[in-house]
């Protein structure tokens, strides 16, 4: 389901809800523009964020999503089933964790040229 995230990249997909302790979290995915030693590219990212960080835009269609119980150890929170790309883990705030050697590209693409 398409949702709005309260930080960049803002437009993401919600793929699952997770309950940890007394709080809900949202598992989200998106395609991220990145820069590597080989040049600019796009990588799929997935992460868990606090549920309060996402909201459903009026135009987004509701979808039945899995609800799971998350383990107490946040390092054990799962990536989406079959996720083939970068899983950033838990992303509470600040910049999203990226793979080693990868830098997140921010700003509009047309401004970088």
Helix (H, G, I), strand (E, B) or coil at 111: helix
Domain boundaries, the chain: 2-112
Query: pLDDT tens digits, residue range 74-89?
Result: 999 999 999 999 999 9
Residue 108 is predicted with a pLDDT of 63
Residue 109 is predicted with a pLDDT of 59
- Could you tell me the pLDDT band of residue 73, with boundaries at 50, 70 and 90? very high
Query: pLDDT tens digits, residue range 4-53?
Result: 999 999 999 999 999 998 899 999 999 999 999 999 999 999 999 999 99
pLDDT at 71 over 90: yes
Query: 1 CB contacts (<8 Å, ≥6 apart)?
Result: 13, 14, 56, 60, 61, 62, 63, 65
């Amino acid at each position: 389901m398409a949702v709005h995230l309260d930080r960049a990249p803002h437009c993401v997909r919600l793929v699952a809800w997770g309950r940890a302790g007394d709080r809900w979290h949202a598992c989200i995915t998106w395609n991220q523009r990145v820069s590597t030693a080989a040049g600019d590219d796009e990588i799929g990212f997935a992460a868990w964020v606090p549920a309060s960080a996402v909201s459903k835009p009026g135009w987004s269609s509701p979808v039945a999503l899995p609800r799971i119980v998350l383990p107490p150890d946040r390092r054990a929170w799962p990536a989406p089933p079959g996720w083939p790309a970068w899983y950033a883990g838990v992303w509470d705030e600040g910049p999203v964790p990226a793979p080693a050697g990868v830098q997140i590209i921010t700003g509009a693409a047309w401004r970088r040229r």
